[in-house]
Structure 1
Amino acid sequence: MDSIKGNGVYTLAKLPPDRKALRVKWVCKLKRGANGEILRFKARYVVRGFEQQEGVDYNETFASVVKPMTYKAIFAIAAALDLELEQMDVKTAFLYGNIDEEIYVGQPEGFDDGTGRVWKL
C-alpha cells in the first residue's frame, strides 16, 4: 500500500452514474529462501481487468516487450567484442504507467474510508 500511495496511483472519487467500478482482489504470496524458509510476505491488490469490455472500458492495449531476437543480437555483439553486460529491474514498475481511460475500482478491504467513494486510477 505504501508503494501505491507513494506513486499516486489513485485518487478517491465518487463513481459517476454511467460507470461501473471494476472488481478487485488481494493476491498473497510467500517469498521463500533456498532452504524453504519464509523471507517475506507479499500482497498485491489486483484489478480483475478481464471483466472490462473493449470499446467501453478501454480502446487499445499495448505492452512494450523486447523480441527474443533483439536480446540474442545484443548477447552476440557483447560476446564478439568481449563486453560485459549489466541488467536492472524497476520495482513496482507497473505503478509508473499512465492510463488514458478513466478506470474506477473499489477501495481495498481493510483500507476503505467508509465514504462510499472508489479509486479512480
Structure 2
Amino acid sequence: MFAASETSAVTIEWAMASLLNHPELLEKLKLEIDEKIGQDRLIEETDIPNLPYLQNVVSETLRLYPAAPLLVPRLTVEDIKIGGYDVPRETMVMVNAWSIHRDPELWTEPER
C-alpha cells in the first residue's frame, strides 16, 4: 500500500513542479477544470474522460519522470540480437524507460 501511494505522491509532485515552471500550461489546465468541473466540487474519477488536457499532463509527467525508470528485468530464453548486440541465452536484460522517454530520435522535443 505504501509503495503505491509513494509513487502517486512523487508523480503529483513532479506534475506540480513542472506546471509551476510553465505557468501558461498551469493556466490552461486550470481553465479546462473550471470549464468542465467548476469550482464548487472536487474532480471525481468519472470526470477524467472529460479532462483531456489533465490526462495529457499526467501522461507527460509519467513519461518525463517515470515512477519506475527501469522496467522489470527479463531473462533471455535464447541467443538473440538486440540493437545490433549479441545477447546470449539466460542473460538478464533491463529496459531503461527513462532513457527511451527522452530519446530525441523518438520524441521531437524530449525534454518538454
Q: 1 or 2, which has the higher strand percentage?
A: 1
TM-score band, normalised by shorter chain: under 0.3
Larger RCO: 1 or 2 (CA < 8 Å, sep 6+): 1
Q: 1 or 2, which has the higher helix percentage?
A: 2
TM-score by length of 1: 0.25
User: Highest Rg: 1 or 2?
Assistant: 1
